Amino acid sequence: MNTTHAVITAIGGYVPDTVLDNAALEKMVDTTNEWIVARTGIKERRIASDPLMATSDMTVLAIKDLIEKSGIDPLEVDCLVLATSTPDRLLAPTAVTVCEKAGLQNAFAFDLNAACSGFLYALSTGAALVETGRYKKVLVAGTDKMSSIVNYEDRNTCILFGDGSGVVLLEPNHEGVGIQDNIFRTDGKGVQFLSVPAGGSALGSNEDTVNQKQHFVQQDGRTVFKNAINGMTTACKDVLERNSLTADDIDWVVPHQANLRIIDAVGQNLGVDKDKVKVNIERYGNTTAATLPLCLWDYQADFKPGDKILFTAFGAGFTWGASLAVWGNLRTRQN
């Protein structure tokens, strides 16, 4: 086959050691373990408790995990695409800091912000770079230090989010495996329902924005919930139809880990067996751009060459979409 696809050939991940479980949150805000589990499916989340640990640091640790397992030379990496909503700083891309810390001396790098859809958008972007034939090894990372923008006095948001990083290596393949198709959508009306209002050019930082806690995540949970189910379901159905596939043809669904009820609803709408849907939200919470690669990291042993995998995500903006991939072989250090 002459067509070039970008295939995932290595996976790395990192989550901080500090566990923030529901029992701890019960002491911080007016909530209960039973309420959190029933509404979200989350039992605990990982938090970068060291204030000096930045998004770049977590990404570097995930990349080092990938390199250690795959045996690739960091100098061979052509590009790093970093999906994040929590950059180290507003000016100067976090991805370039990652390259410096991780020894990716020959890679160009940039950040991509599509909130919880970020990794999926970045995966498509990285795949397109590989498909041109110009780039042979592209790293795609999803990392967020959500604890840096969460108000731990707001029980509606602080129960949801955690910190973490996941990364995959994309390489060219001519045998039909790899990223096959993507469908992405946006709706700017969603900004009012999920955002960090202050800190950008629309509303800068001042005493009032700090006092009003406008530098933290704010969301209308009910509106986001409904739109997430509809958006992810529709995108998945569209990508299946465009590729003449049905739910029965899919081996695994890897959805964004925002809320277990959303995940279950999307699976039911698609008619996919529950045991085909990968879920780890109970351990990590919503790590935003990191949820999809962390699912791959956790469950990589389950994926077999030739498996058809459906990815889907929904995030602030609103941004959402779905991607179809055929799994290939992962590198090992022995190779």
For residue range 116-159, list pLDDT tens digits in order. 999 999 999 999 999 999 999 999 999 999 999 999 999 999 99
Contact residues for 306 (Cβ-Cβ < 8 A; gap 6+): 177, 326, 327
Secondary structure (H, E, C), 107-162:
CEEEEECCHHHHHHHHHHHHHHHHHCCCCCCEEEEEEEEHHHCCCCCCCCCCCCEC
CA dist., res. 176 & res. 178, Å (int): 7
Helix (H) or strand (E) holding 11: strand 5-14
For residue range 287-334, list pLDDT tens digits in order. 999 999 999 999 999 999 999 999 999 999 999 999 999 999 999 876
Instruction: Mark whether 216 and 285 lie in a shared domain.
Output: yes
Q: Please, which residues bridge with residue 14 across strands? A: 165
Model pLDDT, residue 334: 63
CATH code (residue 207): 3.40.47.10
Mean pLDDT of 23-46: 97
Secondary structure letter of residue 234 according to DSSP: H
Residue 284 and residue 164 in contact, taking contact as beta carbons nearer than 8 Å: yes
Question: Among this protein's residues, is 329 annotated catalytic?
Answer: no
Whether 331 is in a domain gets the answer no
Question: Among this protein's residues, is 99 annotated catalytic?
Answer: no
For residue range 35-69, list pLDDT tens digits in order. 999 999 999 999 999 999 999 999 999 999 999 99
Instruction: Mark whether 163 and 208 lie in a shared domain.
Output: no
For residue range 206-224, list pLDDT tens digits in order. 999 999 999 999 999 999 9
User: Active-site residue among 99, 256, 259, 295?
Assistant: 256
Domain count, the chain: 2
Q: Is 100 left (phi over 0), alpha (psi -120 to 50) or beta?
A: alpha
Instruction: Mark whether 159 and 199 lie in a shared domain.
Output: no
Whether 258 is in a domain gets the answer yes
Structure-block tokens of residue 52? 């000096």
Structure-block tokens of residue 60? 């570097």
Rounded to 5°, the CA angle 185-187-193 comes to 130
Model pLDDT, residue 235: 98
Instruction: Mark whether 207 and 277 lie in a shared domain.
Output: yes
Instruction: Mark whether 66 and 82 lie in a shared domain.
Output: yes
CA dist., res. 174 & res. 182, Å (int): 19
User: Active-site residue among 5, 79, 113, 116?
Assistant: 116
Instruction: Mark whether 149 and 185 lie in a shared domain.
Output: no
Whether 273 is in a domain gets the answer yes
Whether 267 is in a domain gets the answer yes
Host domain of residue 48: 5-176
Whether 168 is in a domain gets the answer yes
Look at residues 314, 147, 114 and name the one whose alpha carbon lies nearest to residue 233.
314
Q: Which residues of 32-63 are buried (b: 16+ CB within 10 A; e: fewer)?
A: eeeebeebbbbbbbbbbeeeebbbbbbbbbbb
User: Active-site residue among 22, 227, 259, 286?
Assistant: 286
Question: Among this protein's residues, is 116 annotated catalytic?
Answer: yes
* Boundary (domain end) residue, out of 176, 208, 235: 176
For residue range 152-199, list pLDDT tens digits in order. 999 999 999 999 999 999 999 999 999 999 999 999 999 999 999 999
Rounded to 5°, the CA angle 40-283-118 comes to 75
CA dist., res. 253 & res. 51, Å (int): 35
Instruction: Mark whether 143 and 246 lie in a shared domain.
Output: no
pLDDT band at 1, cuts 50/70/90? low
CA dist., res. 138 & res. 72, Å (int): 12
